[in-house]
Every structure is written in structure tokens, then in C-alpha cells.
Amino acid sequence: MQLGDMRDENASPMNATVEGAPRREDVPALTGLRFLAAFAVLLAHGVLATLANDRSPQGAVMWLSTASGFGMTLFFVLSGFVIHYNYARLVTAGGLRGIAAFVWARFARLYPLFLLMLLVYVLASRRHYELWTGHPEQFNAVIEALPYFLLSIQSWVYKVIDGGSLVTAIRGGSPPTWSISTEWFFYFAYPAVAWLVLRARAVPIIVLAALIWCALWTALSTGLYRHTMQLDAWAVAHFGPTAGIQNQEDSFVRWLSYESPYLRIGEFVLGVIIAQLYVALCRRNLTTFENALGTAAFFAAAASVALITYWEYSPDVPMNVFREMNMNFALAPSVALLVFCAARYRNPVSLLLTSRPVIALGNASYSIYLVHSVVLISAVKLTGASIHGVPYNIAKLVVLMAIVVAISLVLYTCYEAPARQWLRQRWRKLPAFATFTDAAQSSPT
């Protein structure tokens, strides 16, 4: 998430619309939230890479490692909000040409950096090393998985390759790209989603739709969780022992609950509904009272994220509905409220989210997400498995995170943004689509 340049898509009038249509106003706070999502994933994975030896039940390492769940939900809800806010008119009023323009805009946003990093992942993979050290059969897994990755559909199907799941087959830092594949699925589903959501225009109806969607997806997610053993037995029978839940990262149940687009789309659609609510309320002036109420709701949503995370993971808390959804929808309602309040209301936190440094980091969030895993893996390999003290490991974590951010800022400035702009210019030069603007004639998840 999936993951983008909010100044051009979340924030700016990135409404790639039919020419002449009004463009959306900037919502720069969403760019800051995108950095928060990327930072949460970076922090969680960085802690696991550098401080895993210091993990203890309910210790700081354990709790920090759960931040990736918040980060991924924030990415997917933000994506739904941003896509609907910027592209709703294009995909519903522009016909097939509008949908084609939308898909191309998303391709231009995701693929240049994704293809570059995919090459890096393959070169950094141990399977590539085995190819040149007399074990070419190890590289066969990369060859088999590569078509799925190139089409960005690796999370759409569950498949066992060389004793592991498809999404982990290439290795070399590539597993997190499952979310890009899942996001890609959302884009193809979005025109139908937009057509349905746009039917709701009155604020009470939109709020009711959001509540019904939350109830529906909670029932679906918890229902599937309660059939884990049946799903696991079916998966082992069809895919072999690798698909069993004892394999955790490679299991069918984990793929279905966490990585596949079929459950994660619940977060995306909720983001779409919240964007529809935001657009409906844009017609109303923001009063001091509403802003105060919205600011209180923002902090309440933030507090609920912390509380629900505790209910999800604490061994002191018995099984509950949030733990049953901890791989997908548990934090989605809280995050949706957080996103809506950040977009509409003004407070000290929104000022921070819209500050120039945070906006710059938010623009580079997609690079941060795709770069971080390969940097962390490379650092662990280079520094070895020696056990050091906590101060050393914390310093190492801070340095590695700084390196990831620095590389990402350079990548965004020198490659990601220019490549996206170049691809969009190619589209605008096609005569058949000359009547469509990319409305980001500047530059998106």
C-alpha cells in the first residue's frame, strides 16, 4: 500500500478526471499519515532484525514488533480514501477510457520502483547466490515465482514453491511486496466499489454504510478465524504439509487472513466509504465546535488503536473478537476514524503531519516500504549473529532506519517521481486519451 506520493495523490487534486471537471483540494495531512504507516512497518521489522534476542513476553520488543499490523491497516485504509477522493469521477464517468487511464496512473505509480527493487531482491536472494555456487536447482524457485511477481499477482493465489509459499519464494527482501500485489487487486475492484459507494450521498446514509460494512467484515473475519482448523485441514490435503499452520509464515491460513486481497479489501472499502463521507462534509463549513469535537475523536481513535492492540496481543487478555481479527480488520474502524479526522480537522497533530519534513518523508514512504527489508537483511548478514548489549542494538536500529530513510529520499527524488512523471506523459500523448487529464500533472499509493 500499496503506498504513495500524497502530495500528488492523497494531497493534491490528483483526481485524474475528465477534462474540465473540478479538481479536489489538497489534503496534505494524509501524506504525513502515509509516512506514519511506513515508519510503523520499518520500526517493527527493524526491531525484529536487531533486537530479537532481547524479546521477552510483554516486553518493549514484543510490543514494538506489533506496529506493522497498525502500519498495514493504515496503508490499506488510506489507499481506499485516496483512490476514491482522487479517482471516483474518472472511473465512473469516464467509461472504459477513464478506467484505462486510472489503471495506467496506478501502474505509473507502482511499477517503476517495484521493478527496480524486484531486480535488487533477486540479486540479493540467497537463491541467486546458490545459482553461482553449484546449486542452480535452488534458483528454479525464482524462475517459477517471477511471472507472478512481474504481474504483481503473487498474493492473489496460494501456491507452494520449493517448500515455501509463493509470496516468499524469491526472498532477498521481497516478501513484503505481497501488499503491493494486494493493492493491485484493489485497483481492479475499485470501479465496481466506486459505483456502489457513490450511490450514498447523504451524510447519515454514508455513516450507516460505514457501520454496516464494519459489522459485515467483522462477522466475516471472525467467522473464518473460528474455522481455522477446518481451513488448515483442507489446505494440508490440497497443498501438502507446507500449507499447515505450524509453518506460520508459509501457511495457507496466514495467506488467506493476512496477505490475500480477499480479506484485506475490507480495509480498502472502508477507506473508500470514509472518503465519501469526507467529500459530503466538504460542502459544509467547519465550525469551531465541530473542529473541537473532531479533534477529540482523533485522539480517541489514537487511544483505541493502543487499547485494541493490547487486547489483540497481550497474554493476560482472554480470546476476544479483536484477537480473532488481528491479521486483518481489528484496527480498521479506529484507523478509519483517525484518517477521517486527520483529513478534516485542524489541531497540533495535523500541523505536525503537514510540516515540510513530514511531507517529504510521506512522499518517500513507498520507497521506504520497498527498501527497508533488503537493507535490514543485508545489515544482519554483514554484522553476523553475535549477541551485543541492548544499547548497541538500539544504536544499530537507529542507524539502519536512518540509512533506509536516506536511501528512500534519494530514490524518490532521482528515480521514483521522475519515472512516474515520464510514464504519465506517455499516456497524455496518446490521441485516444487526449481528453483525459492525469490531474496529477504533478504526480500517488
pLDDT in tens, 116-127: 999 999 998 888
Give the model's confidence band at 299: pLDDT under 50 very low, under 70 low, under 90 confident, else very high: very high
- Grid cell listed for 123: 540479486
Mean of per-residue pLDDT scores for the chain: 88
Inter-residue contact 36 to 335 (CB < 8 Å): no
Q: How many CB atoms lie within 10 A of CB 224?
A: 20
Least reliable range by pLDDT among 91-105, 146-160, 332-346 = 91-105
Q: 289 phi and psi, to 5 degrees? A: -65, -45
CB 282 within 8 A of CB 263: no
pLDDT over 60 at 297, yes or no: yes
Grid look-up 520507497 returns 367
Structure-block grid coordinates of residue 196: 456502489
Identify the pLDDT of residue 379. Answer: 87
**Per-residue confidence at 57, pLDDT binned at 50, 70, 90?**
low
Which class for 306: exposed (0-12), middle (13-18), buried (19 or more C-beta within 10 A)? exposed
Q: Would the pLDDT of 21 be above 70?
A: no
The cell 508459509 sits on which residue?
250
Q: Is the sign of the CA dihedral 395, 365, 28, 181 positive or negative? A: negative
Average pLDDT over residues 64-75: 95
Q: What is the mean pLDDT of residues 396-417?
A: 95
Q: Are 76 and 185 in contact (CB under 8 A)?
A: no
Residue 347 phi, psi (nearest 5): -160, 175
Read off the DSSP letter of residue 384.
-
Query: Of 388-392, 425-429, 434-438, which gets the smallest average pLDDT?
Result: 434-438
How high is the pLDDT of residue 426?
A: 85
State pLDDT tens for residues 127-146: 888 888 777 888 888 999 99
Closest CA to 268 of 14, 83, 7: 83
pLDDT in tens, 253-289: 999 999 999 999 999 999 999 999 999 998 889 999 9
**pTM exceeding the 0.85 threshold for the entire prediction:** yes
Mark out the alpha helices in 15-93 (DSSP H runs).
29-51, 60-65, 67-93
Dump pLDDT digits (tens) for 206-243.
Answer: 999 999 999 999 999 999 999 999 999 999 999 999 99
Q: Which three cell numbers stand for residue 411?
A: 530514490
Check residues 301 and 22 and name the one with the higher pLDDT: 301
Mean pLDDT of 86-100: 90
Q: Looking only at Cα atoms, what is the longest distance across the chain?
A: 70
Q: What is the mean pLDDT of residues 62-82?
A: 95
Nearest CA among 396, 367, 402 for reference residue 379? 396
Measured distance between the N- and C-terminal CA atoms of the chain, rounded to whole angstroms: 6
pLDDT over threshold 50, residue 443: no
**pLDDT for the residue numbered 386:** 59
Inform me whether the pLDDT recorded for 6 exceeds 70.
Answer: no
Spatial separation of the C-alpha atoms in residues 9 and 359, rounded to whole Å: 12
Whether the per-residue pLDDT at 5 is higher than 70: the answer is no
